[in-house]
A = this chain, B = another copy of it.
Amino acid sequence: MSGLKSLLAAGAALWVFAAGTAWADEGMWPVEAFPSAAVKAKYGVTVDKAFLDRIRGASARIPGCSAGVVSKDGLMQTNYHCVESCAGNLSTPENDYFVKGFLTSARSEEKQCPGMWAEILQSVDDVTARVNAAGAGKTGAALVQALSAETAAIEKEACANQTGFRCQVISFYDGGQYKTYKFRRYDDVRLVFAPEFKTGFFGGDPDNFNFPRFNLDISYIRLYEGGKPASTPVHYKWNPSAPKAGEPIFVPGNPGTTQRQLTMAQLNFLRSTSLLAEHTQRSELRGKFLRLEQESPDAARLVSDTLIGLENSFKVYFGRLKVLLDDAFVGKKAKEEADLRARVAANPQLAQEIGDPWAEVERAYAAYGDLYLPYYFLETNAGGGSTLFGYARSLVRAAAEREKPAAERLPGYDDAALQRLAGSMGAATKIEPELERVYLGHWLSKSREYLTADDPNTKLLLGRDAPEAKARALVAGTRLGDPAVRKALLEGGMAAVQASDDPLIQLALAVDPAARAVRRQVEQTVTGPTAAALSRVARARFAAYGDTLYPDATFSLRVTYGQVTGWSERGKEIPPFTTLGGLYGRATGQAPYDLPQSWFKAENRVNKDTVFNFSGNADIIGGASGSPTLNAKGEVIGAVFDGNIWSLGGAYGYDPTMNRSVHVAASGIQEALLKVYGREALVKELNGK
């Protein structure tokens, strides 16, 4: 489920990586670079300008997910898991939409999702030369700082004096290209339809990233403008016919992050150092929350959302680790790198220009080995997931950063970001002290475990305290759960922060110099040199392979193609389809296989042969959740909502034999909307009536 919700926030990448030679049906293609000729040759399907223009105009990104416009009145289809938090926010004890589902009969019943937005691409502007000029002659931390400042300045200019737009500079091909993406931004997005949690997340964590699958992970939302449904003349056509095996499919959406151009030194670092350490800690934290869930029904409710997200991340990173321990996969990556290096070596002029960036990255990552643990515990994972510590750190840093000129600030503290920060500091977010204690205790105890008791950073974090006791004291003593307190500290600046006796503010202040120091060291010896080296690797790749390249995923619009297909595992064929009958068969009455009563009431009406979920070989990754699945005519025949367990290796490369996308079929959606939920009006709108 949340499988494909973007993991951008999880800090998986230090920067955005890029570019690769394509295997069969591989590639997350920008619309302007879609390989129509290859598709024509392989599938006999014509993907013309009209097809691609419709994709550009009818595809949206929403927080962490993708969506497709499916009617002239702003109706969009996405996944249930992409609106789950909206359903939660709109729920009250009397109207629990997790239990009832969110069902509207008229547009007047549609409710705005708090904080939800949608962005549809309007224009793309190449700013490569300008960004490169800003970085020219700089290295290490200075280069990182210069690129960050110039990017912020371009974004500010591009959207100056315009409301209803969002401008974002995106780096493609390891800095080989920088483009400003300008989006039409909708801040009024309303919920139209969501099934019950037990239907939308049927199968729960055990079925997540698995197939066969039986999950109505679908929802409908609507764009509003000026309080009215937005007019959307460009939209996808609905086709509720069952998909057929081998049928070509197209998936336009916003895959979040891939790192397919990592060098072997980087892949090795991931598997032996960072992924392994973080996976280990995440497994333990998962155990803590799973135990907490067993303590009482209240505890189970308290921890439910946290656990869904955590178990999803667990599978994602475990999948990545496993693929990096797969000899065949790693061998293929090594062969690719060796091939590129051989091509460079065979061309003296190119070799002269490129140098040996692979060795430079290897040196940078050797240095990273000594910096990684303090960088992780003090900087990238400081607070271990605690919302309260996050507030404390932001308040401490905002106080320091806003006194500096724009070009010298840390990323995330430019004027626009500080304004957003003021908003979030003042918002009445619900804090759960028990979860905070678990996060902080885990962070402090793992810091001591990995850094060891003798490390000065451990002493900085713990003094003479025990981790769990310190976590309890921090949560008991802090007042940062109160928006008024946070607001006063933000407005009071450094003087107020330094005068505060709040224990979390004091901890964040005490840790900040060491955290900034290790951050700067990483920029200077790892991030900066690696960025410089990788841009030369990218140049080598263009020289060697020309235009067969697609950039790594950047949570911006891409189109991937393939077909409806199962796969073979341990000598067993996994067929690509499941039916609604299979859903009933799987319903044991025990969570997460406890189908709601609505389905049993409708059981006699439902056609059990209806195709419900299906698998395909579309090359997708987290962020693509909610993307429409299109047929050869560009009609919606479903929605992507997950990948199989092998798709997780897609972060580093596409394996055509095992990597599979998982979809809800339009046939199953329409049968459910009509027979189970009685949503005739919605089905009519989908069918353009």
Contact = CB atoms under 8 A, between A and B. Distances in A.
B290 A464 contact: no
Interface in A209-236: 210, 212
Interface string A284-306: 11111111101100000000000
Contacts of A290: 284, 287-288
A476 interface: no
B449 A206 contact: yes
Contact of A453 (B210, B322, B591): B210
Contacts of A327: 268, 272
Contacts of A448: 206
B287 A590 contact: no
Interface string A248-288: 00000000000000000000100110001001110111111
B276 A454 contact: no
A468 B294 contact: yes
A445 to B, nearest CB: 8
A588 interface: yes
Contacts of A291: 287-289, 291-292, 438
B464 A590 contact: yes
A430 interface: no
Interface in A435-458: 438, 441, 448-449, 452-454
Contacts of A441: 294
A292 B453 CA distance: 24
Given A285-B287, A288-B287, A276 B325 contact: yes
Contacts of A284: 283-284, 286-287, 290
Interface residues of A, number: 51
A465 interface: yes
Interface of A is mostly: helix
A570 interface: yes
Contact of A276 (B292, B321, B468, B586): B321
A318 interface: yes
Given A326-B272, A589-B464, A454 B212 contact: yes
A339 to B, nearest CB: 21
A243 to B, nearest CB: 21
Contacts of A285: 287
16 contacts: A206-B449, A207-B453, A210-B454, A212-B454, A272-B326, A272-B327, A283-B287, A284-B286, A284-B290, A286-B287, A287-B288, A291-B291, A291-B438, A294-B441, A466-B591, A469-B590
Contacts of A205: 449
A64 interface: no
Contacts of A289: 287, 291
A370 interface: yes
Interface string A457-475: 0000000111011000000
A327 B334 CA distance: 14
